[in-house]
Amino acid sequence: MGVLVDQFPLFLNGFLGTVRICLFAAIGSLVFGTLIAAFRVSPLPPLRWLGSAWVTGFRNCPLAVVLFGFAFGLPEVGIGAPFEVFGIIGLTAYTSAFVCEAVRAGINSVATGQAEAARAVGLTFQQTLGNVVLPQALRSVVPPLGSVIIAMIKNSAIVGAFGVGGELFSVEGTLTAQGYPALVSLTGVALGYLVLTIPAGVLLGVVERRVAVKR
């Protein structure tokens, strides 16, 4: 297990790489997922169709296929980028579908009377959504969104499995190439992910109790 100490800089580098990928993908998928959720509840049928298609597609397709598709498909049509960028794009697209469903479930959890009251005092659709429904929905959306983000952190390992360097999962490959046993290097990698996911889960539990709405 001395390897874990000797190779600590390598693990740290990979860990920070994972954090970087996750930050980009988290911001991207939260923004994009919320937009798709707005599409899915909008009064305009074409936008609703687009939203449903997006969610059905990305929720039911394995992330590995999404990543393969982006990484090997986009260059075919002349769109080139570093592997890491394709990884982030794929992870964002995939996660946004789950974010969308979490946000939509939150909107649906707001009591009908709230939106009805808002309309009764003459608020427009945008005002109803922005000033009345979303602020309440956000509270019931926090716990499922947290689970989505934790799942996304774990899914970022798949991006690493593609051979995107400078990311936690890929550290194993680097160490194996140097002749270290997989048991040791994989334990290090596993610890790295647990350091991210377990505290995130605990934090989520705390936040969940804080924002819980009594209805």
User: Which residues lie near other proteins (CB under 8 A)?
Assistant: 40-41, 43-48, 50, 56-57, 59-66, 68-69, 72-73, 76-78, 94-95, 98, 101-102, 105, 107-108, 110, 112, 115-116, 119, 125, 128-129, 133, 144, 147-148, 151-152, 154-158, 161, 169, 172, 176, 181-183, 186, 189-190, 193-194, 197-198, 201
3-state secondary structure of 1: coil
CB nearer other proteins, residue 13 or residue 187: 187
Least distance to other proteins, CB of residue 202, Å: 9
**Shortest Cβ 32–other proteins spacing (Å):** 15
Closer CB to other proteins, 135 or 201, in the complex: 201
Q: Which is nearer to other proteins, 28 or 144 (CB)?
A: 144
The beta-carbon contacts of 107-113 under 8 Å, at least 24 apart in sequence, are 107/37, 107/41, 107/133, 107/134, 107/137, 109/137, 109/140, 110/136, 110/137, 110/140, 111/215
Rounded least distance, CB 185 to other proteins, Å: 9
Q: How far is the CB of 6 from other proteins (least distance, A)?
A: 19
Nearest distance from C-beta of residue 141 to other proteins, angstroms: 11
Rank residues 27 and 194 by Cβ distance to other proteins and give the closer one: 194
How many Cβ atoms from other residues are within 10 Å of residue 125's Cβ? 13
> Alpha carbon of 157 to those of 19, 95, 147, 181: distances in Å?
11, 14, 16, 20
Q: Which is nearer to other proteins, 16 or 65 (CB)?
A: 65
Q: Which residue has the tokens 């305009």?
A: 44
Helix/strand/coil (H, E, C) string of 45-99? HHHHHHHHHHHHHHHHCCHHHHHHHHHHHHHHHCCCCCHHHHHHHHHHHHHHHHH
